[in-house]
Every structure is written in structure tokens, then in C-alpha cells.
Structure 1
């Protein structure tokens, strides 16, 4: 009997071992955890993050414990409290808290010479939703690039094997394979909430596009890959410009750049130095203020994310009021 698709798409994938699968108990992470345990027996653990955001959270954790016990897979659970700041959505706050908790679990395991890679179960349909969501928000090339198949951050390797190379697979195939294998999963009740933009894209927009353009998912994936390449080139340019403007950036050095390069390096600086993503309007306003900053008394004060960008002598910097002393 041929391997189910959820397993065969992992052929040729060579992650650094041991690995941990971010396991929610849902269909996608269940499929990936099972497939990884089949492909890399004895080298797989599961990380479960309990946000406590809904009544079913305890049931999700219990299901994960039972499933991992049945498969003989070590399970590590972390509970996080994700509080969204003003202007930040609860979903965004939960996502940031989840990734931070996964990273902390990996570092804790690495103290014992374990877990080299954290594996995430996002797949082709998730990529479609991510790119369409970016389009609906007027995102630039970085947003249109969608989710990265792999990256490293703070000493942790992250991979999405269901997005990489021949690993393209969608939600319908994943569920069909799980049913054929007799493997159960839990459904997140919030997935049916059409008040959430991503759910509306999944339920209404993506099916209509698939009906009108049967190959749209694969062509959109190619467009996302092209956007990712363009975003990488912009980051390389921004890195060179940031070396020239300094950290924090000098105003006169910024003014020597074109408007496009100034916006590019400022966006890059805020992202890599302060983990902030300015809106298009905020970035345009910042560039405009910098262009008109020609006197010593000209002040700059612009809110970005959870802090503000302010002038300090000949440079600008980003400050978070909650940590100022």
C-alpha cells in the first residue's frame, strides 16, 4: 500500500534532529506529528501551547496528552497568557505568545542536548489565506511572500515541511488521510467564526477562486515565492543602508537616500532592532518628517507599534514608554 500523502510529502526532507512538532491537536498538526513519528521514530517530541483563551483549551490539552501517550511521543505543555495591547488583535497577541513559548520550550530542551528543530504544520491552503489576507491589507512584497518554509531565530531552527518543495499539501487531503488511517483530531470551534477575516477567506473567497481558476493555489504559491525573493533583495539593500546610516539611524545619512530607500531601511531597522512593523501611513509620515527635518529644533515624535520614534540630537530612535526609566 502506498504511503498516505501526509507522509510521502516528507520524502527528501532532512531536518536537524531531534525535532519537536508544534501540536495543537487539530488535523494539520496531528497529521504532521504522526508523519514525523513514522519518518523519524524516536527523534520526535510534541510541544503544546495552552492559551487558555477558550473553554475547550483544557480538552485540547487532554486530547494531546492521550494521543501522544498512545503513540509513545514525549509531550511538553506550556501555558501562556496572551494579553493584547491597545491596537493589537487578540489573535496577533496569541500568535506572538505562542511562538515565544515554543522557543522557550526548545531552549529548555536544548539545555539537555535535545530539540534542534521546531516543526510547524501550516500547509498550502494556509499560504493561500495568508497571501490573500496580505492583499486585502495592501501589504508590500514582504507580506505577499506569505509564510517562510524555513528560518532560524535565536538559535532555533523553524521549518514548515508542508509548505516546502514537494511538501505542498492542502487541508482536504490532510483530513482525508487522517480519516483513512483512523486517526482522530479536535476541531477548534473558532474556525467556524466568520467574524474572523481569515475564516471568511477560507470559507468564502478561496473556494470561489478555486472554482474560477482551478490552478490558482499553485500559481499564487509561485507569486509568493517571487515576492519572497524580492523581499530578500530589499532586506539585503536595507542591511547595507543601515550599516551606512548607523544604529540608531543618523538623520543626515537617511536624508541622503531616495524616498524608497529611506522607507525600506526604516522598515528594516524597526523590524530587526525593535520587532515593530509600521503601517504604510506611519512609514510615509516618518519619511516626510525626516525630509523636513532641517533645523536643530525640529522635533520628531511618531507612534509606531507599542512605542514612539523620537529625535535625539542627530539620530532617531524608537522608545517603548513602558520600559523607559
Structure 2
């Protein structure tokens, strides 16, 4: 009896067709392809779909975070599974301990992306595929709502993005977890379950265990609707980014104070968010941005001083312009 069709294969084909068409690239330009392979269910289903699509050009990248004893078992399973299916595997051991004021989830994610990008570049991979699915997208949006996020947060996860000079793709955002797990069971592919995913000390896990079932009970099939809302937010954010670039072309980069003062407060806020994100990779809190806007409005004399903490640095005044001073005495941006 033939193995059941992997639902990831069609999703992966659609993702490839969309992005190859948008870039004008050829199908072969994606080779070799790397899959971020944790040994969990989602990345296992994606890895097998990629293996089906590119039999001789798939690489598996496994990051050992060193955060729990079970991580050694994840690595052992990944090695056995890839050996069984003839897939090249690269493993990197990292320490993902979080800094003061940083959540463990954020620290692990940052280290993971940095490590995946480094491995992909070393192995010549054109793209790194990630196994996040429709449930992850819904959880991300609910988490953003719980934090009072703006449009960038409400846009949730894009299906394609660049980080550390590497293209990452999420072809499974339209597939729910239960579909992937059902296929793995039918096909007889083993995977591991991360025990930390049931630890209710983590906000995302509480959303998964408590909120998601409640939403499903009240609004069956809600996942694509939340994904649609995230798509609308992403589209609106794209327009705001376009407007910010237009305004910053007039104010300069870094922005001049008088140039900002010629804009309305909402456009000032939009331009400043864009400047901080693109130039320094930081985001101001609502309170920090409000204080900065107030200081820009009051800055009418040569001696007016501006110094407002944003992330790990400070927004300061540098003559007639704003500047972002990075920590540890690095040069202002």
C-alpha cells in the first residue's frame, strides 16, 4: 500500500511557485535547500516534503540549545532519522541562556536564527525552511494581542523574510498541526515531542493549552480567519513603511528635528519607528515613543537636550538631528 500524500508537499510547492514567480528566479535557483530540523513533528513533515521535492539537494540543520536534558535525545533522533533517509545533517551546539530582562523564548529564538543563518551560509544553502504552521501563526497573533502590539506584531509571522543575510521561508502557515501529525502517524515517521511545550510557565504554552481550545469551541475553524487578519495587518504595515520612507527622505537619515516637526505627530511616530527599526534594529515602547515625541515637539532652542532610553541604548540629540547611541560606547547611529 503506497504511503499517504504528505500535505506539506502541496504547501511547499505553492510557496515555491509564489516566491519564484515574484522574484523571476528559476526552480533550480533554490538549490540547495536547508530545513531547520528540530526532530519535532512539524519540521519532520517539512523535511520529508523537501526531500520529496529536492531528493539530492536537501540539508537538515539542527540546533542543540543546551537548555534541557532532553536536547541530547533530540540530537540523537535527528542523526538517526537523517541517516535512515539519506539526508545530510549539520548540528551546532549553542548556549541560549537569556540575559537580564530578556525572556527565555526570545533568547533561544535569537540564538537559533543566528546559528541557522551561519550554518546555511557555510553550507551554501539558498534558503532555510521553517516548520511553523497555522496553529503557531494563531498563537503568535493572540500573543501579540495580549501584549498590546502594534501592526508589526499583529502581522504575526511572514511566510518569507531575511535575517543575517539569509532568506527564511515558512511554507506551512496554512496547515494546522493536527493535519501534519495525522500524516506522520499514517506514514509511520517517528518524531520527538519537546517536554517544554507543556510547561505552563511560558505564555505561549498557556495560549496553546487554554486559549486555543476555547477559541476552537466558540469559533470552529478560526485559524484561517486569524491568519487573514494578520495578512491585513501586514499589508497595512507595508503601506506605513512606504510612508515612513517618503517622510525620512525629507527629514534625512538620521532624521532632523525640524524635519520631524514639520510632520503631524502620527507621521512623526511612524517615521521614528521605521528609523529605529531599520537603522538600529530596536523598537521603542509606547511610553518611550510618546516621551520622544514630546521632546521633539519641545526642542526649539539650541541648548535643548534629548536623551531617552530605547531598548539597550538611547535616542539623543546630535546637533540638529536625532541619533541612536548603542550600548558599550559604540558610535551613534
Superposed pair shares fold, TM > 0.5: yes
Query: Quick check: 1:9 aligned with 2:11?
Result: yes
CA contact (8 A) 2:313 2:326 kept: yes
Offset of 1:74 from its aligned partner?
Answer: 0.8
Offset of 1:267 from its aligned partner?
Answer: 0.8
User: What is the match of residue 34 of structure 2?
Assistant: 20
User: What is the match of residue 56 of structure 1?
Assistant: 70
In structure 2, what is the Cα distance between the partners aligned to 1:263 and 1:81? 37
After superposition, give the CA deviation of every residue in 1:251-286 in whole Å (9 maximum; x if it has no partner): 111111111111111111111111112111111111
CA contact (8 A) 2:134 2:223 kept: yes
User: What is the match of residue 150 of structure 1?
Assistant: 160
User: What is the match of residue 236 of structure 1?
Assistant: 242
Give the match's secondary structure for 1:143.
helix
In structure 2, what is the Cα distance between the partners aligned to 1:49 and 1:276? 25
CA contact (8 A) 2:117 2:163 kept: no
Give the match's secondary structure for 2:266.
helix
Offset of 1:6 from its aligned partner?
Answer: 3.0
CA contact (8 A) 1:6 1:177 kept: no
Query: Quick check: 1:106 aligned with 2:120?
Result: yes
User: What is the match of residue 177 of structure 2?
Assistant: 171
Structure 2 unmatched ranges of 5 or more: 21-29
In structure 2, what is the Cα distance between the partners aligned to 1:85 and 1:283? 24
User: What is the match of residue 287 of structure 1?
Assistant: 293
In structure 2, what is the Cα distance between the partners aligned to 1:231 and 1:131? 15
In structure 2, what is the Cα distance between the partners aligned to 1:85 and 1:274? 19
Give the match's secondary structure for 1:190.
helix
User: What is the match of residue 316 of structure 1?
Assistant: 322
After superposition, give the CA deviation of every residue in 1:1-29 in whole Å (9 maximum; x if it has no partner): 55132333333342622110011111111
Decide which of 297, 300, 310 is 2:303's aligned counterpart.
297
Q: 258-267 or 240-249, which moves further after superposition?
A: 240-249
Matches within 5 A, 1:124-143: 124-143=134-153
Structure 1 unmatched ranges of 5 or more: none
Equivalent pairs, count: 317
Give the match's secondary structure for 1:186.
coil
Give the match's secondary structure for 1:82.
coil
Give the match's secondary structure for 1:296.
coil
In structure 2, what is the Cα distance between the partners aligned to 1:158 and 1:244? 33
In structure 1, what is the Cα distance between the partners aligned to 2:82 and 2:214? 37
User: What is the match of residue 89 of structure 1?
Assistant: 103
Query: Quick check: 1:213 aligned with 2:226?
Result: no
User: What is the match of residue 133 of structure 2?
Assistant: 123
Decide which of 215, 227, 232 is 1:226's aligned counterpart.
232
CA contact (8 A) 2:315 2:325 kept: yes
How does the TM-score come out when normalised to structure 2?
A: 0.91
In structure 2, what is the Cα distance between the partners aligned to 1:264 and 1:79? 39
In structure 2, what is the Cα distance between the partners aligned to 1:153 and 1:50? 20
Q: 220-229 or 144-153, which moves further after superposition?
A: 144-153
- CA separation of 1:323 and 1:107: change in aligned 2, threshold 3 A: farther
In structure 2, what is the Cα distance between the partners aligned to 1:154 and 1:31? 26
In structure 1, what is the Cα distance between the partners aligned to 2:122 and 2:65? 19
What's the Cα RMSD here?
A: 1.5
